[in-house]
Homo-oligomer: A and B are copies of this chain.
Amino acid sequence: MSTLPSWLLVPGLAGTAGRVVLPQEAAHHLARVCRARAGDHVTATDGAGTVADLELESVTAVVAARVVALGRLARPSQAWVLCGAPEGTRGDWLVEKLAELGVARFQPLDCDRAVWRGARLDRWSKLAAAALGQSRQAWLMEVAAPATIERALAAVPPGASCWLASAGGKSLAAPPKAPAMSVVAVGPASGFGAGEIQALEARGFTSIRLARSRLRTETAALAWAGIWAARTASEA
């Protein structure tokens, strides 16, 4: 049983047998932030579905642990968020919140009217890793490099349930069902161009209205993720 509140991200965890030396960042977190001691238990994950119960053996500059139990979780249904650039530096908060809510992939969109000038992939990956531990999840959110809609759509698997956040869309009387994969596209602060909307609609994206009010880019993305997360909470 874990005696520490957050989960630890330990890449390569699935291949370990019996004993694991924790990566430096996790070791630092345990020793300095959690003030962990030998004998404490912690839940670890590789961010790819493996979850382990670890018992800390030594907590010094190096932290070693015994693998008490190790299991593999089936991948739950996934959400992808394809998102144009918001105003200012709102990307950081957005990434943290989407990761907390369990989104599988964050795909920044470079659009006709706005590109991501503030894309900080290294920082965002760290935020996603921190959110994974904080929110106790076994699947790390992937942070993709900015791409055009055309390239982003090419990666969307067939059969995905696809939604376009739009003030002019039909209202979402029921939340999106949770098939194996749900995808939302959210325009940049200046909105999608006409050609981009055509491309999304041609790919089967359905326009939905997320609120009575006009939402900012990052708010629309978060609101959709909140609806998706509530819908999938019943799977667990």
Binding site for B on A (CB under 8 A): 76, 93, 97, 100-102, 134-137, 171-175, 209-216, 219, 222-227, 229-236
Contacts and interface: CB of A to CB of B under 8 A. Distances in A.
A211 B76 CA distance: 12
A236 B222 contact: no
Contacts of A214: 134-136
B76 A212 contact: yes
A236 B170 CA distance: 11
Nearest to A232: B212
Q: Which of A175, A210, A232 has the most B CB atoms < 10 Å from its CB?
A: A175
Contact of A100 (B76, B136, B213, B230): B213
Q: Which of A209, A210, A219 has the most B CB atoms < 10 Å from its CB?
A: A219
A213 B135 contact: yes
A142 to B, nearest CB: 16
Nearest to A216: B100
